Amino acid sequence: MATQPTQFFKSKPHTIVTPQVKDEDGRLMNDFTGRIKRDEWKPPSGFQRTLTVALDTAQYQIDMESMAAHKSEDVYSSFNVLMRRKPKVGLN
């Protein structure tokens, strides 16, 4: 029997994009711009990572309007991130 997402989440899960991942020293780990040369690359330090996330603006607007209409708590004040190590391409 498949488990429904609503059993685990307060609301349905949202998709976000993580354009930046930094290590404990604040060094960019996923630089695709070419700013970091291959010979200047260093392995990431520590085990903690800082993610910069890009939210879906349309979904954010819907959530804020719903929050205002129902006088509910701000779902963006804190949230959990589930991340795949090897993202799949073409999820259609």
pLDDT digits (tens, 9 = 90+) for 29-69: 887 777 777 787 788 899 998 988 888 888 889 888 988 99
What does pTM read for this prediction?
Answer: 0.57
Q: Does 78 map to a domain?
A: no
Q: Does 4 map to a domain?
A: no
Query: In the structure encoding, which two tokens stand for residue 74, read together?
Result: 């701000």
pLDDT at 1: 47
Distance CA 87, CA 53 (A): 15
Q: Does 38 map to a domain?
A: yes
**Total domains present in the chain:** 1
Q: Does 25 map to a domain?
A: yes
Q: Does 3 map to a domain?
A: no
Domain encompassing residue 63: 14-70
Q: Does 1 map to a domain?
A: no
Q: Does 85 map to a domain?
A: no
| pLDDT tens sequence across 14-25 | 778 888 889 999
Alpha helices in 24-89 (DSSP H): 57-70
